[in-house]
Structure 1
Amino acid sequence: MQFLVYILVYPFIWMISILPFRLLYAFSDLIYLFVYRIFGYRKKTVLENLRLVFPEKSEEEIHLITKKFYHHLCDMIVEAIKSLTITEKQMKTRFTFSNVELLQNLEKNKKSVALMCAHYGSWEWIFILQSYIGTKGYAVYKKIENKYFDRLVKRIRAKYNSYLITTKETVPVLLRSKVEGNVTLCGFVSDQTAKPHTALHWGKFMNIQVPMHTGAETLAKRLDMAVVFFRVKRLKRGYYETTFETITERPKDYKNYEITDLYFKLVEKQIKEAPQYYLWTHKRWKHRDKFPEDFIKKS
């Protein structure tokens, strides 16, 4: 059944991917009509999230951000599909880096990097970064249930010397690389909701206490990796600029979860500057009325 779905869907995806950008974004506008106007995909969740984190904004402002968000969401969908056939030259033109020398200098100093980001702007085209550095790149991801699409996504990422690894694979892969003396770069999208029963740290995200993922910080301390945040700015439709910011090159000097809190502060700053480019469809604050003590008592 998985293969049948793959062979039926793949030709459609491929045809979309070869569209020139002008038609690609026209198709995105069409998707927007269905996703936002007709079906209202997770609109209730989006509005709830925005009202929660921006209590000072009026309903008119909330709805305007919502519309802009759905336009951007549909653009990200078609841009992800475009990754299948986009050329390296096209991607380098559309996804640029303001200070890639920061990572290049860390590479020269034989320093591995835990690269942290959020579900903001565009994270689909960040893999072109590997064409600017020699460090082998990994990205932690959730495996796709359909194994054929999972292989496809891995193949697309591997074009630029980037490799997807699951959470369970992360420690052994990076530990082996360190033992072998290899310099690596591993990307973490760490702003999603952590399971409250297993979360080691609860902190403030947009001034609301939530359980937080701490894997990137823990791994950086264990393997002595520099921790770098990358900020994505949307310049115009289909064009992005990324800026890197070092959180620390000495993670062991920080108290437990201090790096995680610093990361979330950077994410917050980015969201407040242009909230329409954050991924609001997920229930990231669903545990906001709960506290660590509640789970400790029940366990």
Structure 2
Amino acid sequence: MQFLAYILVYPFIWLISILPFRMLYAFSDFLYILLYRVIGYRRKTVKMNLDLVFPNKSEAEKERITKAFYHHLCDMTVEAMKSLTISDAEMKKRFKFQGLDVIQDLIDKNKSVALMCAHYGSWEWIFVLQSYFDVKGYAVYKKLGNPYFDKLVKKIRAKYNSYLITTKETVPTLMRAKVNGDLTICGFVSDQSPKLHSAHYWTEFMGIKVPVYTGAEMLSKRIDMSAVFFRVKRLKRGYYETTFELLAENAKDYKNYEITDLFLRKVEKQIEEAPEYYLWTHKRWKHMDKVPAEFQ
């Protein structure tokens, strides 16, 4: 059944991927109408999240953010499909980088890099970053339920010398690279909501206390990686710019959770500047009423 789903859906994805960008975004506009107006995909979740973090914004402003967010979500969806056939030159034209010297300086110092980001802007085309550096790249991800689509996603990322690894694979993979003397760049999307039983640290995020992932920080300390935040800015439709900001060159010099807090403050600033580009369909604050006594 999973293979049947794959062979039925894959041709559609491929056809979308070869569309010229003008037609691609026309399809995105259609998708917006379908998701937002017809299906109402997670609209209650989006409204609840915006009401929580922006209690002082007017209903009109929150509605503007909501509509802009769904437009952006649909753009990211079709851009993910475009990754299947987009050329290196086209991707580099549309996903530019500022501050590559931050990464290169760390590599020159024989440091591997833990890239920390949020579900903000666009993370679909960040993998082209590896074409600028002669080190292997990894990204921690949640394995897809369909093994055929999972293999496809891995294949697309591997074009740029980037490899997807699960949470369980992260420590042994990065430790093996360190033992072998290989430098790596590993990406962590660090703003998810962890499961309660695995939550070690709670702190405020957008004014609300929540459990947070600390894996990127803990790995940086354990494997002696430098922690770097990357900020994605949407310039215009289909064009992005990413900048890099050093969080901690020597992670072991920082107190526990200090790097995580630095990261979260930068994410908050992004959201406050342009909230429509954050992933509001994610149930980020679902555990806010379960704060342990020691973190209250």
Q: Same fold by TM-score, threshold 0.5 exceeded? A: yes
| CA deviation profile, 1:76-127 (whole Å, cap 9, x unmatched) | 0000000000000000000000111111121121110000000000000000
**Within the alignment, does 1:127 sit opposite 2:91 as a pair?**
no
> Which letter maps to 2:240?
Y
Query: Could you say which residue in structure 1 is the equivalent of 2:212?
Result: 212
How is 1:73-84 mapped onto 2 (pairs within 5 angstroms)? 73-84=73-84
RMSD: 1.0
- Corresponding residue of 2:59: 59
Q: Deviations over 1:230-268 (max 9, x none)?
A: 000000000000000000101111111111111110100
| Residue 39 (structure 1) aligns with | 39
Cα deviation per residue 1:250-288 (whole Å; 9 max; x = unaligned)? 111111111111111010000100000000001100111
Q: Distance in 2 between matches of 1:212 and 1:293?
A: 16
1:1-299 mapped onto 2 (5 Å cutoff): 1-293=1-293
Query: What TM-score comes out, normalization by structure 2 length?
Result: 0.98
Task: Work out the percentage of aligned pairs sharing the same amino acid.
Answer: 71
Verify the 8 A CA contact 1:140 1:187 in the aligned structure 2. Answer: yes
Q: Secondary structure at the match of 1:197?
A: helix
The answer on whether the counterparts of 1:229 and 1:246 sit within 8 Å (CA) in structure 2 is: yes
Q: Secondary structure at the match of 1:144?
A: coil
Looking at structure 1, the residues matched to 34 and 163 of structure 2 have their Cα atoms a distance apart, in angstroms, of 33
Offset at residue 197 of structure 1 (A): 2.2
Q: TM-score, normalised by structure 1?
A: 0.97
Counterparts of 2:152 and 2:197 in 1: how far apart (Å)?
34
In the alignment, structure 1 segments of 5+ residues that lack a partner are none
- In the TM superposition, residue 49 of structure 1 has moved relative to its aligned partner by 0.2
Q: Distance in 1 between matches of 2:163 and 2:143?
A: 12
- Structure 1 residues 3-60: Cα deviation after superposition (integer angstroms, max 9, x where no partner): 1110010001000000000000000000000000111100010011011001110000
Amino acid at match of 1:177: A
Q: Counterpart amino acid of 1:6?
A: Y
- 1 CA distance for matches of 2:141 and 2:254? 26
- Gap regions ≥5 residues in structure 2: none
- Would you say the 8 A contact 1:196–1:292 is kept in 2? no
Paired with 1:222 and 1:53, the residues of 2 have a C-alpha distance of: 34
Residues in 2 aligned to 1:262 and 1:294: alpha-carbon distance in whole angstroms: 21
**Shift of residue 291, structure 1, vs aligned partner:** 1.1
The one-letter code of the counterpart of 1:208 is I
Amino acid at match of 2:44: K
**Matches of 2:44 and 2:68 in 1, distance apart?**
15
Distance in 2 (CA, whole Å) between partners of 1:294 and 1:10 is 49
User: For residues 257 and 216 of structure 1, what CA distance do their matches in structure 2 show?
Assistant: 10
- Moved >3 Å (runs of 4+): none
Q: What letter matches 2:77 in structure 1?
A: I
Opposite residue 68 of structure 2, the aligned amino acid is: K
Paired residue type of 1:176: R
Q: What amino acid is aligned across from residue 157 of structure 2 in structure 1?
A: R
Q: Aligned AA for 1:93?
A: K
Q: Distance in 2 between matches of 1:230 and 1:149?
A: 27
| 1:28 maps to amino acid | S
Return the alpha-carbon distance in structure 2 between the equivalents of residues 112 and 292 of structure 1: 35
Tell me the amino acid that sits aligned with residue 86 of structure 1.
Answer: I
CA deviations 1:118-159 (Å, max 9, x no partner) are: 000000000000011111100000000100000000000000
